[in-house]
Amino acid sequence: MLPGQLVEFSALARRDLRAFGGHRVNSLEARAQASDLIHVGGELLTCSAWQAAVMLLDREAATAVISRYDNDPVAAADWAARQLGTSRSMPYVVGRDALTPSGRLIFNALGGVEWTDLSAGQRNEVMAALRQADWVSVRDHVTQEALRAEGIDVPLCPDPAVMVVQCFGGVILNRQHADAVRAMRDAFPQGYLACQFSADFGDDVSLDALAQGLSRVLAETGLGLVLFRAGAAPWHDDPEPYERLQHRLPSGSARRFSSLGLWDICALIAASRGVACSSLHARIVALAYGLPRVSLMPPQQGERPDKRAAFAETWEPHAVPRCVAVNQVESAVLQALDLPAAMLLENAADLSAQYLRSQAQWTRLLPP
């Protein structure tokens, strides 16, 4: 995607993610000034220091920290600053002070649908960095409209994950024939629906509704069901609700997919007949493969803007189901499975082309 460029991956903590199909990641705060800095994808514009710091902990430590600080925002902010080594209240938004004088500052296809939930101080911090940037694009109309109301008018760009087939299709195809995915294909030779949901869906009412809707889909289509996790960080996917859901489903109708490897998960989705998920990136991988998809709306979402719905509204045909409550999963999945394959494949091709056109505008700013 960036031929001829030497790329280093940085985040808020040093991690080696190669065992999961990722990269060796350096800490932003520990490195020298960058010549160029590219922010890529995600809800980076609205992720607070508290949220970011908790998500870097293991589950046991996160539970203890939340119990200690959740009702004391001042102490929580102090703890997060110490934990991350930065005073930025929005730590994934890095301004020009982190660059060399001639460095380029790029914000590529970011999200921030919960912009109005930020404090004035948090919004001002983000806007200061955006106004210093050489290029800014956002991945959905909700974020675009929120920034426009602040006097920052930026273009839309699909999330970079729409390029997954073009960039990594060969890797993913190989993983489809490896043990983890092959076991699921062998278990359900008639095909399977891939399903993922975050810990937000762990209450009995949500699990009952999911089980009822999915059971009816399986009975009507003859498909199997593969339950997978898209991530294991706090506030992501907890294995325990998956076990409870499986016990609610007809015997033998569902299998749990244990791998957390990035390419195994992509391969599982690519080999499926469709996806029902709460992960936006799982939806986008399904989109990139031209597959039926349905996003699951967390029961606590209420009237707050939703990143899944915002992305689908911005980029997908109206006929494709967007984000539904758990009691609507049956009708939404059946609607998705009935969509013309040609329409879904055309949508995938269109978004990858739109992404490339957008990226070409800022890659011209980088040194040769």
Mean pLDDT across 98-120: 96
Question: How does pLDDT run across 339-356, given as a tens digit for each residue?
Answer: 999 999 999 999 999 999
Assess contact for 213 and 333: CB atoms under 8 A.
yes
Domains detected in the chain: 10-160+353-363 (no CATH), 162-350 (3.40.50.2000)
For residue 28, what pLDDT is reported? 85
For residue 227, what pLDDT is reported? 98
Determine what percent of the chain is predicted with pLDDT higher than 70: 100
* Residue 54 pLDDT > 80: yes
Cross-strand partners of 196:
277
Q: Shortest CA distance to 278 belongs to which of 247, 236, 312, 327?
A: 236
Mean pLDDT across 46-59: 94
